[in-house]
Structures are given as C-alpha cells and as structure tokens.
Structure 1
Amino acid sequence: MDTVRAAFRDECAALGAALRDVSEADLDRPSGCPPWSVRELLAHVRTGVGRLADMLAAPAPAAADVDAAGYFGVAKFAPDVDAARIDSGRREARELDGPALVADVGRAWQAADDAIAAAPPGRLVRTRHGDAMRLGEFLRTRVVEVGVHGLDLAAALDRRPWLTPTAAGVIADLLTGGQPVPARLGWDPVTLISKTTGRAALTGSERAVVEAAGFRWLSFGG
C-alpha cells in the first residue's frame, strides 16, 4: 500500500508540474484518446483521481470481488459505457480554463490522498461500476490511469514523457503479472507500457515473446 500510494502521489505531482505552463491552444490539441482533446482528457484524469474521496466516504462493502487487473475488464469499455465516459470528459472540460483545470487536478488528487491517509488498514471500496475492491487494489488502477494518460498527454503536447519511476514500477508489475520483462525485448518502462496498452504497435516477434511470457492484456478505453 505504501508503494502504491507513493506512486500515486509522485505521478500526480509530476503531471501537475508538467502541465503548469500549458497554453489554452495546447489544451485544444487532439489527444491520443480520440475523440477527446487534451483538455477533455485532462478533465477525465481529474475525475478519475478524485473518485476515491467519495468512495471512502461511502459505506465499505463486505468483501472484495475483483483485483486491479480484473477492474480493467471488457465490460467497462462497452460502447455505452465509453460513450458516457467521453461525454463526461467533454462536459467537465467546459467548466474551467486551463490553469484552473490543472489546479483542480491537484486539489482532486490531494483530497484523495488525504482520504487514503485517514482510511483504516484493509479498507474496501465500491467502484462506480459496482466492483468491490481493496483500497490498495483500486489505487493501483488510479496509478495506471494517471501514468498511461500522462503518456497520452505528453505525446499530444510533443513533450518527453514524465512517467515517474515509482508509477512505472506499479504499472509494469500489473501489466506483466509481476514477471520480469524478457531481456531480449529491450524495452524501457515507457515502451513496455506503450506496447502493452496499445499505444504503440507490437511487431510479430515482440507479440510472440509477450504471449510466451504470459503478460496480462488489460482492456482500456479512453
């Protein structure tokens, strides 16, 4: 839990620092998660990191029924679910200008971190999809959301990825099922995450190595 929480804090802070000087024109660029703009994708990230505060204010479920890998299930990215997610990001993006939106991301993740600090050990939460999860497992999904969408935002803004080592470790562990990355792939963390989340194409030989290694293929929407 301490490792995952550190990764969440590090990656959220890096995102805020990277986008502190972003212009309104840059925010209106298309993102790597069509049909969202950079502004709309950032609004989606803000919503995602802010969910925990409300979840921890709600009653805890009796038992967990899904882990972080199971959370990224195909059903969560069905057309109707994706349409609602896209509409929500667009609607929320219209509420604030760029500096206010970036600041609001900071407030959202810090409120979530405060709620985590106040939660008892072993706390369970219920997601908006109805999943019952251990807090630490759900927090892993937030690290994935901030880290992977951070790569999307960096690419859209023509910036070097700001993925932090702590977040990269948490995301890679989830994507590989805790297995080491085969050395013959020669992937750094950004390449690993980009390839296994569909942000970059796998070559035929890479796919064969990945499938033999038994990496988890998670389902991702925008």
Structure 2
Amino acid sequence: MDLFSHSWAALRTAVAGLSDEDFERPSGCAGWLVRDLACHLVIDAQDVLITLVTPADTAPTVDAATYWELVEPPTGDDPLDALMPRLAAAYGEPWLLKFHLDDVGSAAGRAAALADPAARVATKDQVLTVADYLSAYVIEWTLHHLDLIAHLPEAAGPSAGSLAAARGLLERIAGARFPASFPDADALLVGTGRRPPTEAERAALGELTGRLPFVLG
C-alpha cells in the first residue's frame, strides 16, 4: 500500500510539473498525447475511488497478479481509446486538466491511505482485498509514468522501488522472468511492447521474444 501511495504521488507530481507545451507532446501510449494520458489518469483515479467504496462480502477471486488479464495489443478501434482524446481536448486549457487530476487524484490517494488493507472490494466482476487491489495499481502508475516521460527527457521518472515492484508483478502476471541483464525500466518497456527489443535484447530474451508483448487488460 505504501508503494501505491508513493508511485501515485510521484506520477501526479510529474504531471503537475509539466508545461502547457508538454501536454501537446506524444506520450508512450500509441495515439495519445500527454494530455490524453493525463485525462486517462483522471478516469483511473475515479475507478480507484469507486472500487474502494464498493465492499464485497465474498471470498477473493483474484490477487494483485491475477487481477490483470493478458489481452491482444490495441488496434486503435476501441471506442474508449478513441474517446480519451476528445475528453482531453474538452478541457481546453492544460491547467484545468491539472486541477482536475490533482483534485480527484488527491482524493484517491487519501482514500487508499485510509482503507483497511484486509477489506474486500469488488471491481470488474472480481473480488480482492484492498491490499491486492492497490498493489495491482502500482504497475498501472509505473507504466503510465514511463509513458508520460517517453518524450520528456527532463521529467523525473518512477522511483527504483516502483520500477522493481512493477517488474516483479509483470513477471508474475506473465509467468516469465526477464533476463537479469535487463534494467527494470527496459523490462517493462520491452515486456509491454512500448518499444521493440534491440538485437542484443532479443538474443537475451530467447524464446520469450515470441510471447511479447504482454498487454494488460
């Protein structure tokens, strides 16, 4: 739960530090500008708030790893993916998007800090503990932090702890280990298809190359 709070606060701080021009740069999410990604984070924060106030009285059906499913890479035809740029553009000025993310995002962070880790919540037709739910989101925040700074070399990236935790969770989800020679950020970027592996990386990955990318849904 501490990693959730840390990774989420770091991501929101990174967005808050962006210039207006930065919002018009491409992000690491194919087809999305930085402003579209920031708008997606508002939706994510709303999802966290909704889930934390949706208690369940049945046994958990998933944990932090099995909460995620491996899905086919996006094709650009998903109506929800296409909706995000329109929602982001509706904000007009970047400061409005920053304000909304800070407002809703801070509330999600407070709700997470106040939640009982052992409590059970329901989301996506699944039940899991609050601790597992928040742990599952560490990979979401970390990957999107990498997406945010993909074309912003001056921006601060995720912490080493967040990167290591996200890598470990991705390996659990995929049931595979990345070579020890891969830095955590590269394991996440290559593993989720955010960039293609180099020839050297492809050789190190071996048969695992044929299973890439691991896209979470």
TM-score bracket for this pair, using the shorter chain length:
0.7 to 0.9
- What residue number does 1:219 align with? 215
Counterpart of 2:140, as a letter, is E
Q: Higher helix share goes to which structure?
A: 1
Q: Mind listing any 5+ residue stretches in structure 1 that lack a counterpart? A: none
Deviation at 1:164, TM superposition (A): 1.0
With 8-17 and 143-152 compared, the bigger mean Cα shift is at 8-17
The residue type equivalent to 2:100 in the other structure is D
The C-alpha deviation readout for 1:47-100, integer Å capped at 9, x for no partner, is 213322222222325122223333332469777994224414531552363223
Does the 8 Å CA contact 2:193/2:212 hold for their aligned counterparts?
A: no
Give, in whole Å, the separation in 2 of the partners of 1:114 and 1:19.
18
Q: Which residue of 2 aligns with 1:102?
A: 98
Q: Secondary structure at the match of 2:187?
A: helix
Match of 1:117 in 2: 113
Counterpart residue number, 2:26: 30
CA distance in 2, matches of 1:31, 1:219: 17
**Unmatched segments (≥5 aa) in structure 2:** none
Are 2:155 and 1:157 equivalent residues in the alignment? no
Does 2:132 match 1:134? no
Conserved? CA contact 1:175–1:217, under 8 Å: no
1:182-211 Cα offsets, whole Å, 9 max, x none, are 43xx22221121111111223431321757
Gap change, CA 1:122 and 1:79, over 3 Å in 2: farther
- State how many pairs are aligned: 212
The TM-score with structure 2 as length reference comes to 0.79
Aligned partner of 2:80 among 81, 84, 108 = 84
List aligned pairs for 1:197-208, cutoff 5 A: 197-202=192-197, 203-208=201-206
Residues 13 and 41 (structure 1), Cα distance of their counterparts in 2 relative to 1, 3 Å cut: same
User: What is the aligned-residue RMSD (CA, Å)?
Assistant: 3.2
Equivalent position to 2:64, from 49, 68, 74: 68
15-24 or 148-157, which deviates more: 15-24
Mean CA deviation greater in 77-86 or 105-114:
77-86
- The answer for the alignment partner of 2:44 in structure 1 is 48
SS in 2 for 1:125: strand
Identity of aligned residues (%): 27
**Matching residue of 1:10:** 6
> Which secondary structure state, in structure 1, belongs to the residue aligned with residue 5 of structure 2?
helix
Distance in 1 separating the partners of 2:69 and 2:177: 23
